[in-house]
Structure 1
Amino acid sequence: MEGFNLFMNSLKGFSISSAIDVLVVSIIFYKGYILIKETRAEQLLKGVLLIFLLIPISEFFNLTMLSWILSNTITIGVITIVIIFQPEVRKALEHLGRTSFVDKIIYEDEEVMNNVVNEIVDAVEALAKDKIGALILIEQKTGLGDIIKTGTKIDAVVSSALLQNIFVVNTPLHDGATVIKNDRIEAAGCFLPLTNNDKLNKQLGTRHRAGIGVTELTDCLTIIVSEETGVISLAVNGRLLRHYDGEKLKTILVKIMKSRNKNKETFKERVKRWIKRKDKTF
């Protein structure tokens, strides 16, 4: 009854701001669940909810020992969660960072973007034809500075000939990833994090797992050429799309990069545009 009376009293003070508060918190919880869905963190969340459910039950039945263990588990568990699930926490924070009011413009000149895509696709087609393995990262809104530091600095204009030369077998840089930023090849021979996705085809090797892994943590586009089969694949947002030809790869790259390159209108800019439109009406 005490809990019921408390609930009824809280309803009396329910206002518009309270409704907004509930709505915002609901959206945050929903977005959080979407981020951890089908990851290790989802199973952890179920375990935490079970513990929270058991605590009042143990107190109701006066199970002192169990109640003490569960309460202390929650206290220590928060720190443990942050340590164990650091990749998921980082992914969530980076996702929030990318949803800013002012988006980063990747390519100010669309012609430059098309030239870069053409050079990359030409190189990938040639490498696939000769069955030469390749791993190419195209930076988007999330910076790849920490990955660039693991490789050898190149800082050269993107060209098909240079990309092909980098991945020639038995050369010093052929076995790592090459990072492209805007119209420059920033670095080659870079190390990437491997994906922990255990649902991937077991036939996929380290190159594919590294290509998928980096797209789970950033919004970069990763092109992978299989050394065994010459199959061209594209990794985006933790998903691997396979069996591309040059024309199909070019089309999807341009489509994704154009959509991400659009500068989103901020709330302030929308208000200004609305005011101008109203001024013209009168």
Structure 2
Amino acid sequence: MPVIEFGHFTVSWRDIVDILIVGYLFHLIILLVKGTRAVSVIYGLFVVILFYYLSGEFGFYTLHWLLGNFLGSIFLVVIILFQKDIRRALAVVGAKGLFAREKLEEEVLNELVLAVVKMADKRIGALIVLEKNIPLGDIIERGVEIKAKITKELLMSIFYPGSPLHDGAVIIRQGRVEAAGCVLPLAVGISPRSELGTRHRAAIGITEESDAISIVVSEERGAISVAIGGKLTSALDEVRLRRVIQNAWQR
């Protein structure tokens, strides 16, 4: 039964639902690729498709043939070049909480930010990971189980120099300190000559393979950095740290 009629053109409720589903899927795709290398590839692909169409319209048959062959194999090329981004996107789609993620409680955020700022002031090195949609169970299992309410004192005691757990990462799950002393995968593609230390490489590495948020405190400089989607934002103060975490959590 048609819902809307424009002369010979009719729109049924199925058409409306179909459009809404497709629109929502495009919305999800944009959210998944936002901030990744895939964004540039998508823009470039649109340009290639535009040139392919125009070359056919204006009779540039050689160019049209070349672009047609390129587009015929682009699917395989994208999979090879961006397998890590695709794997992470599919993991988000299949992970729990995609449609309803728990809100990051203000108390949790306050304790976390206070602890990080305090450790930065005292130049205590730290690496804290906030689990989001993609479960980090395999990493948690290799660490030391904590399962405790997050407090500034607890985090500082874990990372205090001389503590047996201070060299590993703390994983925060659902607002609680789930595990400590965790070993994270190191980032790939970073030059050995880079000034980034092991903590920063690990912070970037875990965000390359998941949608987690990593917070790093440098014990040499007392600088605070946050890694999201394989990218590191450095030299954060308390206000910017809070804002970056909140924005990243809501993505």
TM-score (norm 1): 0.58
Alpha-carbon distance, 1:71 to partner:
2.2
Gapped regions of structure 1 (runs ≥ 5): 1-10, 261-282
Change (3 A) 1:207 1:23: same
Residue 93 (structure 1) aligned with residue 87 (structure 2): no
Q: How does 1:1-282 map to 2 (within 5 A)?
A: 12-16=8-12, 17-60=14-57, 63-96=60-93, 97=95, 100=98, 103=100, 118=111, 124=116, 127-148=119-140, 152-158=142-148, 160=153, 164-165=157-158, 168=161, 174-181=166-173, 183-194=176-187, 207-208=199-200, 210-211=202-203, 214-215=206-207, 218-233=210-225, 240=233, 242-244=236-238
Q: Deviations over 1:105-158 (max 9, x none)?
A: 699xx9xx958975x677646643431211012334431124336xx4311354
Alpha-carbon distance, 1:86 to partner:
2.4
Q: What CA distance in whole angstroms lies between the structure 1 residues aligned with 2:161 and 2:196?
A: 21
Change (3 A) 1:186 1:106: farther
Q: What CA distance in whole angstroms lies between the structure 2 residues aligned with 1:165 and 1:222?
A: 16
Q: Which has the higher strand share?
A: 2
Asked if the contact 1:196–1:213 (Cα under 8 Å) also holds between the matched residues in 2, the reply is no
Aligned partner letter, 1:153: G
Paired position in structure 2 for 1:3: none
Change (3 A) 1:167 1:141: farther
Asked if the contact 1:221–1:234 (Cα under 8 Å) also holds between the matched residues in 2, the reply is yes
Aligned partner letter, 1:32: I
Change (3 A) 1:132 1:57: same
How many aligned residue pairs are there? 230
Q: What CA distance in whole angstroms lies between the structure 2 residues aligned with 1:229 and 1:105?
A: 34
Over the residues paired in the alignment, what is the CA RMSD in angstroms?
4.5
The percentage of counterpart residues that share the same residue type is 31
Change (3 A) 1:161 1:56: closer
Q: What CA distance in whole angstroms lies between the structure 2 residues aligned with 1:122 and 1:55?
A: 55
Change (3 A) 1:189 1:168: farther
Alpha-carbon distance, 1:81 to partner:
0.4
Q: What CA distance in whole angstroms lies between the structure 2 residues aligned with 1:172 and 1:180?
A: 19
TM-score (norm 2): 0.63
Paired position in structure 2 for 1:271: none
Change (3 A) 1:244 1:215: farther
Structure with max Cα Rg? 1
**Alignment partner of 1:168: what SS?**
coil
Asked if the contact 2:165–2:180 (Cα under 8 Å) also holds between the matched residues in 1, the reply is no
Change (3 A) 1:84 1:12: farther
Q: Deviations over 1:229-265 (max 9, x none)?
A: 32445556767482229xx98xx59x96xx98xxxxx
Q: Which has the higher helix share?
A: 1
